[in-house]
Amino acid sequence: MKLNLPPTVAIARRVYFSVGRHAPLQSWPPRLRLPHGYDCVLTAYYEGAVAAHNGMVANISDIKPALALAVAPLDCAMLTGADTVLPNPPSGENIVEFLWQRLPAHIEGGRLDRLVLELSPRLRVEKTPTSMRITRKYEFAAAHRLCSPELTDDENLALYGKCANLAGHGHNYGLEVTVEGAPGAAGFIMAPDRLDEIVEAEVFTRFDHKHLNEDCPEFENLIPTSENFARVIFAVLREKLTGDGHRLAKIGLHETQKNYFEVEG
Ligand SMILES: [Zn+2]
C-alpha cells in the first residue's frame, strides 16, 4: 500500500531528577526564601526526518545518556550558594536554559526541538529554539446553565441536553495559563507569585463559586459554554499579562477530566 507519509517525526525521552534551592535574590517571592526542593521531570523532544534505512529519526536510546549527562550536575544538588553549577538564579527558566545548552543540538537526524521541565504538577517551563514559556495550573468552581435566549426551554433541552437544566449545574474547572517571554534578571519570565495574583484578581474574583449566568456581567449577552468561557478568561488575562517582556500565550480550560478547551493568542 502506498501512503503519503509525513517526512518528520518528533521523538521524546524523559528523565527524572531532583534539585534544591532557596531564594538567591531579595526580588524573589518571600515564600521561596527557605530551602525547598523539586522532583523534576524533563522531557526532551528531537524532531527530524525518518531515515529510510532504519525507520528512525535517531535511536531513542542514544538520547538517554545525553539526558543523564545533562542533568547530572543538577541532580540532588543545591542550586543556590557558592558551589552552585548554575551561572544564573535557579529559576525553572534558567534550569531549562542550562539544560538546553548542555544537550546536543542534534542527535543523528533529530534536532533539539523542545524541552519541557515540570517542576511540580502545577508549574511547567517549556523552551523551543524561538520561545520560552511558563505554565501554571489552577482549579476553581463555577455553575452555569447552557441556554440560548432565542430558544424555548424545550428547544434548549434538545440542543444542550442536561447542560440546559433550569437550575443550572456546576464544574470544577482546571485552568492552565501559559505566559511567553524572556527571563529577566531574577530569572523569571514572570514571577509565579505575580501570575498567581493576577489570576486570583482577574479569574477567581470574577468567577470562582459564581453562577456564570446569574452573577457575571461578562455573560450577560454570551452563552456560557466552555468555548465562550475560555475566550472570556483569555481576554481578561490578556489585559493584565501584556508587557514587561512577556505576554499571555495560551489558556487551557478543563471543563471536566474529558473536555478541554484552548485559546492561543
Ligand atoms: Zn456545564
Which residue from 123, 114, 169, 125 is spatially nearest to 145, judged by alpha carbons?
169
C-alpha cell at 205: 474574583
Contact 133, 180 (CB under 8 A): yes
Q: What is the DSSP string of 108-158?
A: TTEEEEEEEEEEETTEEEEE-SS-EEEEEEEEEEEEE----TTS-HHHHHH
In the annotation, is 209 catalytic? yes
| Ligand 1 centroid to residue 122 C-alpha, Å | 24
| CA distance linking residue 246 with residue 88, whole number of Å | 19
- pLDDT, residue 87, reads 85
From 22, 47, 108, 163, the catalytic residue: 163
In this structure, whether the domain defined by 1-130 belongs to CATH 3.90.1300.10 is answered with: no
**What fold, for 134-265?**
Tetrahydropterin Synthase; Chain A (3.30.479)
Query: So what's the pLDDT on residue 217?
Result: 97
For residue 28, what are the contacts with CB-CB under 8 A and spacing of at least 6?
89, 186, 191
Q: For 141-189, write each residue's pLDDT tens digit.
A: 999 999 999 999 999 999 998 898 989 999 999 999 999 999 999 999 9
The domain spans of the chain are 1-130, 134-265
For residue 255, indicate whether it is catalytic.
yes
Whether the predicted pLDDT of 243 surpasses 90: no
d(CA 126, CA 242): 19
- Tell me whether the CATH fold assigned to 1-130 matches the one assigned to 134-265: yes
Distance 89 CA to ligand 1 centre (A): 43
pLDDT tens, position by position, 71-124? 999 999 999 987 788 888 999 999 999 999 999 999 999 999 999 999 999 999
Query: Nearest CA to 160 among 210, 213, 214, 208?
Result: 213
Determine which one of 209, 214, 262, 264 is catalytic. 209
Residue 133, strand partner residues: 126, 180
Asked whether the predicted pLDDT for residue 191 surpasses 90, the reply is no
Using one digit for the tens of pLDDT, what is the confidence trace for 31-85? 999 999 999 999 999 999 999 999 999 999 999 999 999 999 999 999 998 778 8
Distance 145 CA to ligand 1 centre (A): 7
Residue of 125, 17, 14 lying closest to 72 (CA atoms): 17
Determine if residue 83 is left, alpha or beta; phi over 0 gives left, psi from -120 to 50 gives alpha, anything else beta: alpha
Distance of CA 126 to the CA centre of its chain: 8
pLDDT at 244: 78
Cα 265 to ligand 1 centre (Å): 25
**Surrounding residues of ion ligand 1, Cβ less than 5 A:** 163
Measure 191 CA to ligand 1 centroid, in angstroms. Answer: 33
Q: Is 40 labeled as catalytic in the residue annotation?
A: no
C-alpha 163 to ligand 1 mean position (Å): 5
pLDDT at residue 85, rounded to an integer: 87
Question: The pTM is what?
Answer: 0.93
User: How many CB atoms are located within 10 Å of the residue 32 CB?
Assistant: 19
Mean pLDDT of 190-203: 94
